[in-house]
Amino acid sequence: MEKRTFLTTSKRGLLVDSLPFRLYQKAKKFGVWNPVDFDFTQDVKDWNNFSAEQREAILRLISLFQAGEEAVTRDLLPLMMVIAKEGRLEEEMFLTTFLFEEAKHTEFFRLLLNALGETGDLSIYHSDVYNTIFNEVLPNALERLEHDHSPEALAEASTVYNMFVEGVLAETGYYSFYQSLESIGAMPALLKGIGYLKKDEGRHIAYGTFLLQRLISEHPHLFDIVANKMEELTPLAIELNQQGMVEDSPFGNNFDDTMNFTMKQLSVRMEILAKSKGKKLDDIYKQQESEFGVV
């Protein structure tokens, strides 16, 4: 084993001005909400007043988030280990909050389901394409890091996890929750929790964008690998949307609006990464959180 240098007792100290460390500070300040503090009393009343079609639509959406949050909680560790082995302490410090928050998201949806009395097998809502994403694409990309620490493997893992699962699928899911429930003022605790999740995931996406920008700056050929991976994943997002939406939504949601939102998320992610080509590492580390929409 190579002799390690303890960064915090060296002249280097902590890179307190770096984006990962600032995200760590944000997570400590804004990511400490507790799922057990939520009162789902009104949500249960609203749930009982929903039509069977409305309950079915929301239950499907919750089930996709429940399993998805469990998946990302379970699959994150290899990414953390690679970053730690590279000695990127500030990034590792932020990733500890990342895992903590994903675990809370998993807990939040399970507590909600318990409150609603939905304790049966919800895997019936997990389609083939959903299982492909969360039981094959995501774990395969992250598990690759257990034996392959190359920039290419790291870029693929972050593309799948941060750019696609969080930056496209989860963002579309939040959009669908708000479209369904906000206008009718239903299930306020669920929507409050979604607000917290969205802020947490915003920090996660910001870190993934930073990581990919750093990798592309160091290895320019990775941009094409990332772009090709996103192009490969796009049909899965489209198919997942198509399976989840019906022409006559019980909440009046517009399918085209949801699809347009998904496609916009895909293009926004790539536009941000394209700007990293030729960018100096120093500039990437000094980016402001607000550039990623992080509050």
- pLDDT for residue 29: 94
Where do the domains of the chain lie?
A: 38-275
* Domain at 38-275, CATH from 1.10.3720.10, 1.10.620.20, 2.40.70.10, 1.25.40.340: 1.10.620.20
- pLDDT for residue 83: 97
- pLDDT for residue 5: 81
Say if CB 189 and CB 42 are below 8 A apart: yes
Say if CB 172 and CB 244 are below 8 A apart: no
What is the distance between the alpha carbons of residues 195 and 182, in angstroms, rounded to a whole number? Answer: 12
DSSP one-letter string for 163-192 = IIIIIIIIHHHHHHHHHHHTTTT--HHHHH
What b-and-e string marks burial along 167-203, b requiring 16 or more CB atoms within 10 Å of the CB?
bbbbbbbbbbbebbbeeeebbbbbbebbebbbbbbbb
pLDDT tens, residue order, the chain (295 aa): 667 788 888 999 999 999 999 999 999 999 999 999 999 999 999 999 999 999 999 999 999 999 999 999 999 999 999 999 999 999 999 999 999 999 999 999 999 999 999 999 999 999 999 999 999 999 999 999 999 999 999 999 999 999 999 999 999 999 999 999 998 999 999 999 999 999 999 999 999 999 999 999 999 999 999 999 999 999 999 888 877 655 557 887 777 888 888 888 888 888 888 877 778 889 999 988 888 878 7
Contacts of 252 (CB under 8 A, 6+ apart): none
- pLDDT for residue 245: 58
- pLDDT for residue 1: 60
- pTM for the complete prediction? 0.93
Say if CB 237 and CB 262 are below 8 A apart: yes
What is the distance between the alpha carbons of residues 99 and 73, in angstroms, rounded to a whole number? Answer: 6
- pLDDT for residue 278: 77
What is the distance between the alpha carbons of residues 159 and 168, in angstroms, rounded to a whole number? Answer: 11
